[in-house]
Chains A and B, each alone.
Chain A
Amino acid sequence: MTGLAHVRSDFPLLEREINGHRLVYLDSAATTQKPAQVIDAIDDYYRRINANVHRGAYTLAVEATDAYEGGRAKVADFIGAASPNEVVFTRGTTTALNFIAYGWGLSHLSEGDKVVLTIMEHHSNVVPWQLIARHTGCELVYLSLDDDYEVDVADLDRIIDDRVKVIAVSGMSNVTGAMGPVQVLSAAARRVGAIVVVDGAQLVPHSPTDVADLGADFLAFSAHKMLGPTGIGVLWGRPDLLEEMEPTEGGGEMISDVQLYESRWAPVPHKFEAGTPPIAQAVGFGAAVDYLAKIGMHEVQDHERAITEYALAELATVPDLTVYGPRDVSRRGGAVSFQLADIHAHDIATILDQYGVAVRAGHHCAKPLMRHLNVPATARASFYIYNTNEDVDALVAALHESRKVFGLA
């Protein structure tokens, strides 16, 4: 058994059987399962506290506000933010990245400016910038990958010139597991006065994150990929940038005064939180980071590296199997994409499901990367704290069965 095997019993869903087999859940890069501690926190909030937040003079409203803002304080602490005010709650990573692109990009970018991305980005860190390019006339420039699936920074000095205003990079690829070179890009950005936006959807759940030394000016991530509920995520920003950034959504909760033709915004972070916020989700998110902090993110990372190392070694024993991602587990996370012989990823996912093994198949919202890898789709196994080497064994056994189904063994 691997290091964190004891946590499995905290996850009620992992007790399910699928198609007569023990569930082997290997899709945590898409969303993680939830521990009872998170489910109970949300349940307790709705049973005892539920009310709308802010401006309520009655006891429940005060308690609900404390619960919501308490979730923010926990998340801020988890990422080393200097103040909870640096943490804006959004619907998730995608909304956070759109808020950055629209709220900062629209007012700071114009024709002739460049936004630098990498070809391993998730669509959520590509399409918002395409939309902003359409509005402002700025140019998108892509960094490619080297032979080990890592962002190629060899030519950085030539690419990062004075016209670059934004460098937006994934902290960890949801396809290859490769970690983005945030520190290197951050140093290059400092030289030319550009800002660094980090898509932390995979990074924050799987790696100790301290915004003080990450090198990012903005960081986006989602609760549901780190044991928390769906419907809530974070936009963290440097305080001065959040101050100068425009709100993307207007409505209740985000103003300090509204007149007929103009309004003044509420202070950060509330000026970015229009409408009734995801209150129960913030409570669940707080419980999720409490749970992770109790284990310790270094332990989480060590566990994932051990299981990924085991998985890469075991997958190498399956004939005709190609893994797309770095071999060095110290430079990657636990998302392992692969192709098996001429079996399409969807067929692999269907066959594996018959053995209770849940993997994702498709383009993983990273079509530019799929084109670079020259594959239409990959199958992807991804690991988290509750996975064990036995889960890897079940995956490998089911892959051998897949070869049999397709007449290859």
Chain B
Amino acid sequence: MTPLDELYRQTILDHYRNPRRRGALNGPHVHAEGENPSCGDEFFLDLATEDGVVTDVAIGGQGCSISQASGSMMADVIVGKTLDEVRDLARKFKVMMSIEEGDNPVDPERPGSVLGELEALQGVRKFPVRIKCADLAWTTLEDALGQL
């Protein structure tokens, strides 16, 4: 695969064009907003929890395919997880996206075994200026978790 094919995988384009859980929550929730001022990408997050478990998520914003697909995939995967699991996931995701080789928690022999669909975003590592795009939703999530 060319670096471009690795970057723009079908999964990513699908999440970009058909983002999951877009909208806003009505019930009790925390709200966080993130943006990359240098490129104008925005990401909004409503996060509802009950007894230490994420019960509902809604997302919004606009930006490039990487930032928006990363947010959609995140929204998809964190519902039903405990806050500890979500924090662990966010940490692993950011390590996966850091360009220091060797730290990557993903098992190349068993694709999808550690971070599931999110591993599709690994192609971004070859495009360092775009890593902040992939991280935007997760930084916003950390902000929301900090409000709990």
Which residues from chain A sit less than 8 Å from chain B, CB to CB?
342-347, 350-351, 354, 361-363, 376-377, 405-407
Contact = CB atoms under 8 A, between A and B. Distances in A.
A347 B2 CA distance: 15
Given A342-B17, A346-B130, A377-B39, A405 B8 contact: yes
A400 to B, nearest CB: 13
Contacts of A347: 8, 64-66
Contacts of A362: 38-40
B7 interface: yes
A377 B40 contact: yes
Contact of A406 (B3, B8, B66, B130): B8
Interface in B98-148: 127, 130, 133
Contacts of B40: 362-363, 376-377
Interface in B51-87: 62-66
27 contacts: A342-B17, A343-B65, A344-B63, A345-B64, A346-B39, A346-B41, A346-B63, A346-B66, A346-B133, A347-B8, A347-B66, A350-B7, A350-B127, A350-B130, A351-B8, A354-B2, A354-B3, A354-B4, A362-B38, A362-B40, A376-B40, A376-B62, A376-B63, A377-B39, A405-B5, A406-B65, A407-B10
Of listed A344, A362, A376, A377, residue having the most chain B CB within 10 A: A344
Nearest to A361: B39
The 8 closest A-B pairs by CB, nearest first: A346-B64, A344-B64, A347-B65, A405-B8, A376-B62, A363-B40, A347-B64, A354-B4
Contacts of A351: 4, 8
Interface in B1-39: 2-5, 7-8, 10, 13, 17, 38-39
A344 B65 contact: yes
Contacts of B4: 350-351, 354, 405
A406 B7 contact: no
Residue among B2, B39, B41, B62 with most chain A CB within 10 A = B39
B127 to A, nearest CB: 6
Nearest to B17: A342
Contacts, number: 44
A405 B62 CA distance: 20
A362 B39 CA distance: 6
Contacts of B8: 347, 351, 405-406
Contacts of B2: 354
Candidate in A343, A350, A362 with the most chain B CB atoms within 10 angstroms? A350
Nearest to B8: A405
Contacts of B127: 350
Contacts of A343: 65
A406 B41 CA distance: 19
A386 B38 CA distance: 28
A363 B63 CA distance: 12
A407 B40 CA distance: 25
Best-surrounded residue of B8, B38, B66 (most CB of chain A within 10 A): B8
Given A361-B39, A376-B40, 7 more contacts: A344-B63, A344-B65, A354-B2, A376-B62, A405-B4, A406-B65, A407-B13
A351 B123 CA distance: 13
Contacts of A342: 17
A408 to B, nearest CB: 10
A344 B62 CA distance: 10
Interface-centre pick from A346, A363, A377 (highest chain B CB count, 10 A)? A346
A193 B17 CA distance: 54
A406 B5 CA distance: 10
A280 to B, nearest CB: 29
A350 B130 CA distance: 9
A344 B8 CA distance: 12
A361 B64 CA distance: 11
Contacts of A377: 39-40
A200 to B, nearest CB: 26
Contacts of A363: 40
Contacts of B5: 405
Contacts of B38: 362
Nearest to A367: B40
A231 B13 CA distance: 41
